[in-house]
């Protein structure tokens, strides 16, 4: 074993139980304004024993700096499952250390996710020499089929390198294969779960009794300029999913609404499926029983929403046609795509189903039938030829709706419906300069009238350009996607959607919000306001638009750790601008 030490002149090197050979290679450094020299000492131990803690440097100076070079700890194999939170303050015997040049591997209390200590990888000196620092875990995975690597980590502004990441080997490190890259890592602590057995299979590796996982750094400066920190490292089985109440209206403490009703009602069962490993559900089912026995068809398959299974998705089933009775119970079961079953929920006594007897009396209709006549379309008052004008017509008895048609010829060979509704008046926008013809009819559930008389208008004032219809897309100023749709005539917006990045509860993610609309586009502008989201938009051309938005909302985040799972609430408030282009 070779140990390199940066020593003040006059320091001595010793090795407990070993023999120290010559110190060589001196060169100048400045440590606390004192000239220092670097020495390399070859230390040999009997019987090939290698222990990091028995090599030391001694000097009458207090400003000694040291690092290991090409050092290897004694190798032992960790059992499965494995966990290390580094709370002993030292590297465990399950870890192997490998470094080059000034690479440094240490357990430190300077940066930790939880507890007091974490594992740090960096370069001991801030210079132009790039070093490797690696911590290698050897674990017995023989006979295992579903294995997850679970850890928390953060980056200290480290540049991207192919050597930065997690690597795996099944041949005692003779060959290493990439498992996970640290490039573009998080500034704050991030929870990472990697499917180890799938990655091993992809590389043709075997989960054997000396499987190795290497956390590796490559760069040229110490933390906080370069480097990585790790905490709560686990090699564990694939976790089973969990089932929980949704916690929203009607489902705070159970999974059914309504809990009592009639035989003709529909009973909606809902449950939240969560899998910390983000495994999709193989099945989520609800057992509906009466007298402790499943009714016909039970258990019933539930439909689950798509989404982030690690945060949880809602699964739903609606049961109709329950017979009258008060001894119904229900409970939920689930299994993820890896075959792991969830703990079933406890049976709940519900619903109570009753029969309501209804007496139907004959209905005597008065003044029934189709509309009583044809509406009369009044002359259009638009003496200036303006592109915007009002049309009105006479009301028809028993009419509940009117349809107004527009065409560019009096024969109505290609009419378009510009209004359908209960009113006898509407504002019309001409699409361009020209002569337009209009007619209207009346309707109800029993039928419709014929078409009215025809009225025309000559438009000489062209309307302002309207935005192109179709799907518009763009980005917010923070860089997240947004989109909306414009109606065929360019007068309405629909499905305004935008995404925003968030962080909180010691994690982060991206969330998407949407408003269906529709809303009007007036003078090439639109806006929307609600209790938690508002936005504006302005079309600067036929195919370009921009606007503002403000989101102020609180939402839950579901987290799990070694001690269980919990719910944390993120208070999200973002106000910014967006730009988009049309089709």
Which H/E stretch holds residue 196?
Answer: helix 196-202
pLDDT of residue 365: 66
Residue scoring higher pLDDT (408 or 75): 408
pLDDT of residue 566: 84
Q: 């359908």: which residue's tokens? A: 420
Q: Which two tokens stand for residue 346?
A: 């406890």
Q: Which two tokens stand for residue 29?
A: 């450094």
Beta-carbon contacts of residue 80 (< 8 Å; ≥ 6 apart): 139, 140, 141, 144, 147, 235
**Based on the domain organization, do 514 and 565 belong to the same domain?**
yes
Q: Which of 77-91, 237-251, 390-404, 562-576 has the lowest mean pLDDT?
A: 562-576
Q: In terms of Cα–Cα distance, which of 118, 97, 126 is closest to 31? A: 126
SS3 263: coil
CATH number at residue 313: 2.60.40.10
Which H/E stretch holds residue 198?
Answer: helix 196-202
CATH number at residue 536: 2.40.160
**Based on the domain organization, do 491 and 452 belong to the same domain?**
no
**Residue 312 region by backbone torsions, left for phi larger than 0, else alpha for psi between -120 and 50, else beta:** left
Instruction: Determine if the pTM surpasses 0.85.
Output: no
Q: What is the 3-state secondary structure (H, E, C) of 65-80?
A: EECCCCCCCCCCCECC
Q: In terms of Cα–Cα distance, which of 382, 435, 441, 376 is closest to 409? A: 435
Beta-carbon contacts of residue 383 (< 8 Å; ≥ 6 apart): none
Alpha-carbon Rg of the chain, whole angstroms?
A: 36
**Based on the domain organization, do 38 and 179 belong to the same domain?**
no
How far, CA to CA in Å, does 477 sit from each of 382, 494, 501?
44, 21, 12
Q: In terms of Cα–Cα distance, which of 482, 485, 494, 501 is closest to 577? A: 482
Q: What is the mean pLDDT of residues 35-43?
A: 35
- Does residue 77 lie in a domain region? no
Read out DSSP for 292-346? TEEPTTPSEEPEE--S-TTT-EEEEEEEE-PPSBS-EEEEEEEEETTSPBPPPPP
pLDDT single digits (tens) 532-581: 899 999 888 889 999 999 999 988 888 888 888 888 888 889 989 999 99
Q: In degrees rounded to 5, what are phi and psi of residue 46?
A: -65, 150
Q: Which of 273-277, 351-355, 540-544 has the lowest mean pLDDT?
A: 540-544
Work out whether strand 260-262 and strand 352-354 pair parallel, antiparallel, or are unpaired.
parallel
Q: In degrees rounded to 5, what are phi and psi of residue 23?
A: -95, 135
pLDDT of residue 31: 29
CA–CA separation, 43 and 3 (whole Å):
7
Instruction: Give the end of a domain, one of 443, 463, 483.
Output: 463
pLDDT single digits (tens) 526-546: 899 998 899 999 888 889 999
- Reported confidence tier of residue 14, pLDDT bands at 50, 70, 90: very low
Kindly report the average pLDDT of the chain as a whole number.
85
pLDDT of residue 3: 37
Q: What is the 3-state secondary structure (H, E, C) of 281-304?
A: EEEEEEEEEECCEECCCCCEECEE
**Based on the domain organization, do 226 and 190 belong to the same domain?**
yes
- Reported confidence tier of residue 75, pLDDT bands at 50, 70, 90: low
CA–CA separation, 386 and 391 (whole Å):
13
DSSP 576: E
Beta-carbon contacts of residue 256 (< 8 Å; ≥ 6 apart): 267, 268, 269, 270, 330, 348, 350, 351
CB 442 within 8 A of CB 429: no
Instruction: Give the end of a domain, one of 214, 237, 260.
Output: 237
**Based on the domain organization, do 443 and 510 belong to the same domain?**
no
- Does residue 72 lie in a domain region? no
Beta-carbon contacts of residue 498 (< 8 Å; ≥ 6 apart): 476, 480, 481, 482, 483, 512, 513, 514, 535, 549, 578
pLDDT of residue 132: 96
Q: What is the mean pLDDT of residues 476-484?
A: 94
- Does residue 129 lie in a domain region? yes
CATH number at residue 183: 2.60.120.260
**Based on the domain organization, do 318 and 388 belong to the same domain?**
no
CA angle 386, 388, 394 (to 5 degrees): 115
Q: Which two tokens stand for residue 257?
A: 């609404």
**Based on the domain organization, do 343 and 366 belong to the same domain?**
no
Q: What is the 3-state secondary structure (H, E, C) of 199-218?
A: HHHHCCCCCCCCEEEEEEEE
**Based on the domain organization, do 221 and 129 belong to the same domain?**
yes
Q: What is the mean pLDDT of residues 39-66?
A: 35
**Based on the domain organization, do 251 and 349 belong to the same domain?**
yes
Domain limits for position 425: 361-463
Total structural domains in the chain? Answer: 5
Q: How many CB atoms lie within 10 A of CB 506?
A: 16
**Based on the domain organization, do 402 and 500 belong to the same domain?**
no
- Does residue 75 lie in a domain region? no
Work out whether strand 434-444 and strand 401-407 pair parallel, antiparallel, or are unpaired.
antiparallel
- Does residue 73 lie in a domain region? no
CA–CA separation, 489 and 367 (whole Å):
38
pLDDT of residue 16: 34
Work out whether strand 525-529 and strand 507-515 pair parallel, antiparallel, or are unpaired.
unpaired
Q: What is the mean pLDDT of residues 515-527?
A: 87
> 247, exposed or middle or buried, with CB in 10 Å at 0-12, 13-18, 19+?
exposed
Q: What is the mean pLDDT of residues 208-237?
A: 95
CB 37 within 8 A of CB 94: no
**Based on the domain organization, do 527 and 392 belong to the same domain?**
no
Q: Which two tokens stand for residue 44?
A: 């040999």
**Based on the domain organization, do 498 and 557 belong to the same domain?**
yes
- Does residue 110 lie in a domain region? yes
Instruction: Give the end of a domain, one of 428, 463, 498.
Output: 463
pLDDT of residue 520: 87
CA–CA separation, 216 and 166 (whole Å):
6
- Does residue 428 lie in a domain region? yes
How far, CA to CA in Å, does 363 sit from each of 58, 366, 368, 445?
106, 9, 12, 16
The answer on pLDDT for 55 being more than 50 is: no
CA–CA separation, 289 and 271 (whole Å):
17
Q: Which of 78-92, 174-188, 305-319, 533-547 has the lowest mean pLDDT?
A: 533-547
- Does residue 169 lie in a domain region? yes
pLDDT of residue 465: 77
pLDDT single digits (tens) 428-446: 878 789 999 999 999 999 9
């Amino acid at each position: 074993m070779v140990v390199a030490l940066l020593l003040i002149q006059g320091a001595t090197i010793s090795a407990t139980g070993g023999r120290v050979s010559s110190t060589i290679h001196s060169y100048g450094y400045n440590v606390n304004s004192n000239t220092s020299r670097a020495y390399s000492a070859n230390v040999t131990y009997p019987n090939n024993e290698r222990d990091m803690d028995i090599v030391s440097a001694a000097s009458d100076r207090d400003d000694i700096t040291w690092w290991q070079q090409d050092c290897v700890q004694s190798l032992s194999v960790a059992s499965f499952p494995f966990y290390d939170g580094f709370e002993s303050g030292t590297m465990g015997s399950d870890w192997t250390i490998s470094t080059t040049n000034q690479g440094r591997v240490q357990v430190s209390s300077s940066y930790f996710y939880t507890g007091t200590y974490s594992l740090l990888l960096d370069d001991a000196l801030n210079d132009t020499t790039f070093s490797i620092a690696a911590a290698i875990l050897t674990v017995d995975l023989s006979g295992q089929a579903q294995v997850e690597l679970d850890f928390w980590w953060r980056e200290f502004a480290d540049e991207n390198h192919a050597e930065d990441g997690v690597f795996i080997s099944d041949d005692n490190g003779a060959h290493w294969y990439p498992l996970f890259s640290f490039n573009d890592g998080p500034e704050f602590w991030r929870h990472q779960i990697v499917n180890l057995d799938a990655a091993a299979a992809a590389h043709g590796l075997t989960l054997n009794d000396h499987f190795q996982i290497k956390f590796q750094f490559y760069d040229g400066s110490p933390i906080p300029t370069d480097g990585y920190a790790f905490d709560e490292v686990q090699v564990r089985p694939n976790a089973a999913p969990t089932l929980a109440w949704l916690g929203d209206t009607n489902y705070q403490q159970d999974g059914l609404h309504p809990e009592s009703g009639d035989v003709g009602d529909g009973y909606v069962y809902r449950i939240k499926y969560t899998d910390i490993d983000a495994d999709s559900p193989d099945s989520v089912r609800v057992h509906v029983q009466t007298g402790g026995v499943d009714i016909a068809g039970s258990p019933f398959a539930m439909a689950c929403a798509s989404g982030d299974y690690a945060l949880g998705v809602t699964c739903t089933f609606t049961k109709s046609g329950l017979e009258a009775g008060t001894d119904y119970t229900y409970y939920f079961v689930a299994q993820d795509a890896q075959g792991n079953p969830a703990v079933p929920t406890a049976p709940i006594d519900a619903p109570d189903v009753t029969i309501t007897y209804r007496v139907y009396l004959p209905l005597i209709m008065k003044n029934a039938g189709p509309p009583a006549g044809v509406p009369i379309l009044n002359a259009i008052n638009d003496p200036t030829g303006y592109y915007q004008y009002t049309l009105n017509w006479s009301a028809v008895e028993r009419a509940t709706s009117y349809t107004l048609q527009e065409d560019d010829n009096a024969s109505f060979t290609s009419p378009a419906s510009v209004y359908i509704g209960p009113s006898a008046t509407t504002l019309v926008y001409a699409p361009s300069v020209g002569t337009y013809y209009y007619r209207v009819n009346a309707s109800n559930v029993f039928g419709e009238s014929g078409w009215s008389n025809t009225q025309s208008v000559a438009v000489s004032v062209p309307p302002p350009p309207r935005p192109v219809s179709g799907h518009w897309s763009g980005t917010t100023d923070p860089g997240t996607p947004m989109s909306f749709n414009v109606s065929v005539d360019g007068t309405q917006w629909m499905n305004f959607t935008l995404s925003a990045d968030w962080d909180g509860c010691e994690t982060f993610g991206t969330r998407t919000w949407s408003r269906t609309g529709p809303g009007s586009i007036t003078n090439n502008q639109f806006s929307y306001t609600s209790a938690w989201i508002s936005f504006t938009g302005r079309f600067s051309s036929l195919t370009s638009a921009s606007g503002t938005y403000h989101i102020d909302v609180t939402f839950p985040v579901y987290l799990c750790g070694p001690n269980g799972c919990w719910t944390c609430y993120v208070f999200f408030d973002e106000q910014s601008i967006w730009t988009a282009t049309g089709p």
